[in-house]
Structure 1
Amino acid sequence: MKVAILHGSNQGFFPRFYRDLKSIVESNEDNEVKLFVPNSGLNHRCVLPNQVCFGSRFNWHLHYGLFKFFGKQDCWSHLDTWDLIRKLKKFKPDILHFHVVNQCHINFPMLIRYVNKNHIPVVWTFHDCRAFTGGCPYFDEIKCERWKDECRNCPDKGGLYIKNFANTEWLRKFREEWFNKIWNLHIVTPSQWLADFVKQSFFKTKNVQVIYNGIDIDAFSSPSDFDVYGCYGIDKTKKIVLGCAINWEPRKGLVYFEELAKRMSSDYQIVLVGGVPQSLKSELEKLGILCTGRTRTFAEMVAWYQVASVFVNPTLADNFPTVNIEALASGTPVVMFKTGGSPEAVDECTGIVVEQCDVEGLLISIDVIISNPIKYSREKCLKRSHLFSKLQYKKYLELYHSVIGN
């Protein structure tokens, strides 16, 4: 069985996702997985096994520029899509597995005609909502439901659209028309929350299956030898309240850590791991928040999870944040906002879910968890995390066989 995985950029959680999925699929020597990604600087800096680049670096800038001006996406990139199809024909996949593909590098009418002509089944993992909207990856933060019918008069023009005609209505209709032409499409979501939205979209007649993202439980549960206390000069008597994000953009809830810092006693130390805007860093440090930047090693990242008394995730828009299950696998309970599929990671003994924007609720929940170490124990967190182990990727292998069999 040959599986061709199509994705936009090798960043965030995807590299680990791909390596683990590839390892499971290729455990049978008769199977082969290849990754097809656009020719970009990022994909050249992070090269993954069996990676094939298609197109030119110039294409993305051209496609993105046309998108920004006309508000139309997924319909340009003729030459790059021709190059992708040429390379797919050479590989001859039995299954085409889409991931994040609506990123200004594919002409979907061309690709879908190739797929249908050659009767190649498609598995499409949705990591956000953009495939069934007029462009936005998340709409719950602005409480928008226009994606269900026309996506007209986008209320988030300041975010997605800067200078264009904001053709959200056109883009949604275009996607509805072409994506529903895929002759054999199976949709996977990493959360039940996202699956429920898919079933309300123009994909409602398609097969939808929930497969949670999986992680290497042993890698996070094994003791780390990185000394965060010594490296960062932290008093070992302090209770560490941890937050992690690749980049602390507004939707990740940075403002709520500021509010927590104003209300917490000196017994606590808030630590933020990840890219914090330089313009905000000095203000956060004045509040006593430690901003570490991105971790330099995996051992350091694991160490932060393990020394934390509680992990806090106040994200305002997300699908199924991997940081939640990484914290659990490190033995640390989680406090989170009721956002997207985030609550699906915990149960009553491994975390507390708080309504969005409720700072007082966050503060109370942090105290409840720290005051009840027996109820919210390391052992219970580890047990819960095994629901999200790398065994999740075996479900993809089962799906591949099922799709080919049908």
Structure 2
Amino acid sequence: MRIAVVSKADATGGGASRVANDIVESLASRGIAVKHLAARSSQGWTDLRKPILGPKLPRILLSKLQSTAREFGLGEIIPFEVLSVLYAVRNYDLVHFHDTSSAFSPLTLFLVSKLKPVVWTFHDCSPFTGGCLYPQVVSCERYKTTCGKCPQLHEWPLASRLDTTGVALKLRRLLHKQGHVVTVAPSKWMQLEAIQSGNVSVEPTVISNMVNTTQFFDTDDRTGLRRRLGLNPEGLVIALSSGLLSDVRKGVDDGIACIKQLKHLNPTLVMIGNPDPTLHSRLEGVDYMPTGYLRDREMLRCWLAASDLFLFTSKADNQPLSIAEALACGTPVYGYPTGGAAEMIVDGQTGRFAQARAPEELAEIIGNDVGSGQLFEMRHAARRHAESNFGEETFVMEHVNLYQATIKNWNKA
């Protein structure tokens, strides 16, 4: 069984590409023939990671073509990359696509699915919308009928002068109806969203993302770790993360508002992610420690393990790796029951949710648990929950079983 795992980037390219990287490393460590075919890589190319878009010069030209096309809403309409992709996957028994936005047209997946068994993991809602990642952010349901007049037209990954979301939605419907694609959803929430969209033909299989529990774990000496990181050894430390701290969807402003409600506890806010220059003024009166975007997983583990709790205030999300990583580090998660995140926490045992999704309510819950000491009693349960629900072994076996069944069904057809 030879598997091609396809994503737009390497492990540094966001959560979905990290999941693709994790699948490849986990399968390879078990002797399965697998390669990670990425559209770009900031880490360079290796025996496991290969460029799906060909040699350097053609790759650069193709990237420029795609960039120009996206400006006019044609990035997903015209499959510039299709010949490169078809050539790259020619010797594999199955192709597993992950994050496709801005890198691969639905027509490319459609054509590959006519030649090879294809699996596609839904890391956001774009596989069944006109291209937006989370229509829930703007309470839009046009994708259930016909897209157009898109309220997120100027947001990534659309960011277009022309609105071609209606055509893009039709291409996705064609792919799901006439293509031969087996779909995967990391959360039951994403599975339900896909079904209720009316745009997918077959119910996605739910396979949770994994967290590497040998890379993410708690510390035996939190005092020493905090000192090394420049944190108050005795104070309340709260972590909050977002790839881009300016991303409105991630609800960073709600997190800041919650922290300000806790000023009587003198918390330190650890802010993990690419900086937002406007945050400084909004953080007036808050003791905070910016880490920047952490590509090094060991450094990320240290900051998470040094924190008393992880704050999650996203407005829309699937199954955030940040939550699984925090839990693996023994750090309880407090926040909003958004999307698939609601399935990741056992309320009162591994964290708590503010059901009304209000910063004031969340601050009150945190304050109560700090006062009672319950917050500090959740660490062991958080770690055990991560091991039981997001472990590598289950993640790998569920994918292997799916791959084998998909190949078998393809050969029968």
TM-score (norm 2): 0.87
Instruction: Give RMSD over aligned pairs.
Output: 2.5
Report how far residue 342 of structure 1 moved.
0.9
Is the contact made by 1:95 and 1:121 (CA closer than 8 Å) also made in structure 2? Answer: yes
The one-letter code of the counterpart of 2:234 is T
Is the contact made by 1:261 and 1:289 (CA closer than 8 Å) also made in structure 2? Answer: no
The one-letter code of the counterpart of 1:165 is L
Q: Distance in 2 between matches of 1:245 and 1:137?
A: 16
Is the contact made by 2:225 and 2:302 (CA closer than 8 Å) also made in structure 1? Answer: yes
Is the contact made by 1:5 and 1:99 (CA closer than 8 Å) also made in structure 2? Answer: yes
Cα separation, partners in 2 of 1:405 and 1:168, compared to 1, 3 Å: same
Cα separation, partners in 2 of 1:170 and 1:18, compared to 1, 3 Å: closer
2:244 is the alignment partner of 1:247: yes
Q: 1:196 maps to which residue?
A: 192
- Give % identity: 24
Q: 1:381 maps to which residue?
A: 382
Report how far residue 204 of structure 1 moved.
3.8
2:367 is the alignment partner of 1:367: yes
Report how far residue 297 of structure 1 moved.
4.2
Q: Deviations over 1:293-322 (max 9, x none)?
A: 234743332222222221111111211111
Q: 1:65 maps to which residue?
A: 68
Cα separation, partners in 2 of 1:207 and 1:46, compared to 1, 3 Å: farther
Q: Distance in 2 between matches of 1:261 and 1:28?
A: 44
Is the contact made by 1:228 and 1:300 (CA closer than 8 Å) also made in structure 2? Answer: no
Q: Distance in 2 between matches of 1:114 and 1:216?
A: 31
Q: Distance in 1 between matches of 2:304 and 2:319?
A: 18
Which of 394, 398, 402 matches 1:395? Answer: 398
Is the contact made by 2:310 and 2:334 (CA closer than 8 Å) also made in structure 1? Answer: yes
Is the contact made by 1:108 and 1:178 (CA closer than 8 Å) also made in structure 2? Answer: yes
Unmatched segments (≥5 aa) in structure 1: none
Is the contact made by 1:244 and 1:274 (CA closer than 8 Å) also made in structure 2? Answer: yes
The one-letter code of the counterpart of 2:71 is K
Cα separation, partners in 2 of 1:236 and 1:52, compared to 1, 3 Å: closer
Is the contact made by 1:260 and 1:359 (CA closer than 8 Å) also made in structure 2? Answer: yes
The one-letter code of the counterpart of 2:155 is G
Report how far residue 93 of structure 1 moved.
1.3
Report how far residue 77 of structure 1 moved.
4.1
Structure-to-structure mapping, 1:59-208, within 5 angstroms: 59-69=62-72, 71-78=73-80, 80-89=81-90, 92-103=91-102, 105-109=103-107, 112-116=110-114, 118=115, 120-160=116-156, 161-183=158-180, 185-208=181-204
Report how far residue 85 of structure 1 moved.
1.3
Structure-to-structure mapping, 1:226-375, within 5 angstroms: 227-248=224-245, 249-264=247-262, 265-281=264-280, 283-284=282-283, 286-295=285-294, 297-348=296-347, 349-355=349-355, 357-374=357-374
TM-score (norm 1): 0.88
Report how far residue 49 of structure 1 moved.
4.5
Cα separation, partners in 2 of 1:303 and 1:111, compared to 1, 3 Å: closer
Q: Distance in 2 between matches of 1:111 and 1:32?
A: 22
Report how far residue 16 of structure 1 moved.
4.4
The one-letter code of the counterpart of 2:351 is G
Aligned to 2:338, what secondary structure does the other structure show?
coil
Report how far residue 356 of structure 1 moved.
6.0
Cα separation, partners in 2 of 1:113 and 1:303, compared to 1, 3 Å: closer
Cα separation, partners in 2 of 1:291 and 1:113, compared to 1, 3 Å: closer
Q: Distance in 1 between matches of 2:170 and 2:270?
A: 44
Is the contact made by 1:269 and 1:288 (CA closer than 8 Å) also made in structure 2? Answer: yes
Report how far residue 225 of structure 1 moved.
7.3
Task: Count residues in correspondence.
Answer: 394
